[in-house]
């Protein structure tokens, strides 16, 4: 199996130059997160379209962005209102995805959901946070699975499911080991002053309300 070891700090350090170069050349990656394995690329239209084709996903179904810190989201022109600021302060880095307004002219509109925002998460997976920081820009994310199948639990299953892309050198798989059966990230729409819960996942609604009070959904 062609995969880069990506578990320990030493393995991540060794993998970073190749993974960053692959992304900068327009390549796609499969990688571990704090929830499930993801497929992604840089946030460029042609590369996002390539991820959608690889997965067999409709382009009108938006991807989310992984960032290395809140500043990286702001640098993309994404705006934090009072609720988004409170939720990010309480749960980032971690499995909370915020849908934020803005990003026009900097991020491709195919990333935008029906509410007009772009979904963003500061990942708490140490290896991926290091990779995104080394790349210097966000990485797109969609679960690493074929349509109708559950997310792949590990690099071996991904390499099997997407073997043609791996063999062609289009897809680089980062092996972070087998992930547990974690729920997906919690998704909150912060495009309007009043936040709206889209999906309850790893962070519960009760936890959101305990941490952010009236600024929670």
Containing domain of residue 158, as a range? 3-215
pLDDT for 91 equals: 97
What does the pLDDT look like over 40-52, one tens digit per residue?
999 999 999 999 9
pLDDT for 142 equals: 93
pLDDT tier at 183, thresholds 50, 70, 90:
confident
Residue 36 sits in a domain whose CATH number is: 3.90.870.10
Distance CA 207, CA 193 (A): 20
Residues 6 or more apart from 13 whose CB is under 8 A from it?
none
Domain count, the chain: 1
Query: Which tokens sit at 95?
Result: 């499995």
What does the pLDDT look like over 3-29, one tens digit per residue?
899 999 999 999 999 999 999 999 999
Dump the DSSP string for 126-164: HHHHHHHHHHTS-EEEEESS-TTSPPPSSHHHHHHHTHH
pLDDT for 93 equals: 97
What does the pLDDT look like over 50-105, one tens digit per residue?
999 999 887 778 899 999 999 999 999 999 999 999 999 999 999 999 999 999 98
């Amino acid at each position: 199996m062609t995969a880069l070891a990506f578990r320990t700090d030493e393995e991540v350090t060794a993998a970073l130059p190749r993974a960053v170069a692959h992304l900068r050349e327009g390549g796609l990656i499969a990688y571990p997160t704090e929830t499930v394995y993801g497929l992604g690329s840089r946030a460029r239209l042609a590369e996002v379209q390539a991820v959608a084709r690889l997965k067999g996903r409709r382009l009108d179904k938006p991807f989310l962005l992984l960032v290395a810190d809140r500043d990286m989201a702001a640098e993309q022109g994404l705006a934090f209102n009072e609720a988004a600021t409170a939720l990010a302060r309480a749960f980032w880095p971690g499995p909370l995805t915020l849908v934020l307004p803005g990003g026009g002219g900097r991020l491709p509109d195919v990333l935008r959901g029906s509410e007009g925002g772009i979904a963003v998460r500061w990942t708490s997976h140490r290896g991926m946070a290091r990779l995104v920081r080394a790349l210097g820009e966000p990485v797109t994310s969609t679960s690493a699975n074929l349509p109708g199948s559950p997310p792949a639990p590990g690099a071996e299953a991904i390499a099997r499911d997407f073997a043609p892309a791996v063999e062609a050198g289009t897809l680089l798989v980062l092996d972070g080991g087998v992930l547990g059966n974690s729920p997906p990230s919690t998704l909150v729409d912060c495009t309007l002053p009043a936040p709206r819960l889209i999906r309850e996942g790893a962070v519960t609604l009760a936890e959101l309300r305990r941490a952010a009070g009236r600024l929670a959904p």
